[in-house]
Amino acid sequence: MLLTVVILIQRQGLGRRIRPAALGMVSSVTIPLAMSLPLTLVAVGFLAPFLPTLGNLTQMIYLDLSYNNFNGLLPSSIFDLPNLSVLDLEKNQLVGPLPNHVSGLNLLIYLSLGSNFLNGTLPSWLFSLTSLVRLTLDHNQFIGEIGEFKYNNSLDYLDLSYNMLQGSIPSSISRLVNLTYLSLSSNNLQGSVPSSISRLVNLTSLSLSSNNLSIMLDLEMFSNLNNLYVFNFSYNNLLVSINNNLTFTLPNLKELYLSSCNISEFPIFLKVATNLGSLDLSNNKIHSQTPEWLGAVGRNSLTFLDLSHNFLTSIDMVPWTNLIFVDLRNNLLQGPCPTLNALNLRYLFASNNNLSGGIPSLICNASSLEVLDLSHNNFSGTIPKTPFIAKLVGVVAVEIIGAPFLLCLA
pLDDT tens, position by position, 381-407: 877 766 656 555 443 333 333 333 345
Q: What's residue 319's pLDDT?
A: 85
- Confirm if 231 and 208 have CB atoms less than 8 A apart: no
Angstrom distance (rounded) from CA 357 to CA 336: 5
The pTM (predicted TM-score) of the whole model is 0.84
Q: What sections of 46-141 are H helices per DSSP?
A: none
- Summarised one tens digit per residue, pLDDT across range 164-186 is 999 999 999 999 999 999 999 99
Q: What is the pLDDT of residues 47-91, one digit of tens each?
A: 455 666 777 788 889 999 999 999 999 888 899 899 999 999 999
**55 φ, ψ to 5°?**
-65, -15
Q: 379-386, long-range: CB within 8 Å, 24+ apart, which pairs?
A: 379/337, 379/355, 379/409, 380/356, 381/357, 383/359, 383/409, 384/358, 384/359, 386/361
Please, are residues 149 and 173 in contact by the beta-carbon 8 Å criterion?
yes
Beta bridge partners, 39, equal 9, 60
Fold classified for 1-118:
3.80.10
Tell the burial category of 32 from Cβ atoms under 10 Å away from its Cβ (0-12, 13-18, 19+): exposed
CA distance 218 to 193: 10
d(CA 48, CA 73): 9
With a pLDDT cut of 90, the percent of the chain lying above it is 48
State mean pLDDT over 352-363. Answer: 85
Cα separation, 3 vs 22, in Å, equals 6
pLDDT score, position 49: 59
Q: What is the pLDDT of residue 230?
A: 97
pLDDT at 369: 86
Bridge partners, 43 (sequence order): 5
Q: Band of the pLDDT at 220, cuts 50, 70, 90? A: confident
pLDDT at residue number 14: 32
What pLDDT is attached to residue 189? Answer: 95
Across the chain, mean pLDDT equals 81
Provide CATH code, domain 122-127+137-261.
3.80.10.10
Asked if 406 contacts 392 with a C-beta cutoff of 8 angstroms, the reply is yes
Is CATH 3.40.50.150 what the domain over 303-410 is classified as, yes or no?
no
Residue 31: what pLDDT?
A: 39
CA distance 62 to 201: 31
Report the distance separating Cα 176 and Cα 158, nearest Å: 10
- Start and end residues for every CATH 3.80.10.10 domain found in the chain: 122-127+137-261, 303-410
Q: What integer pLDDT is reported at residue 324 of this predicted model?
A: 94
Instruction: Return the pLDDT at 138.
Output: 98
Structure confidence by residue, pLDDT tens digits, 233-289: 999 877 776 666 666 788 899 999 999 988 898 988 898 888 999 999 999 999 988
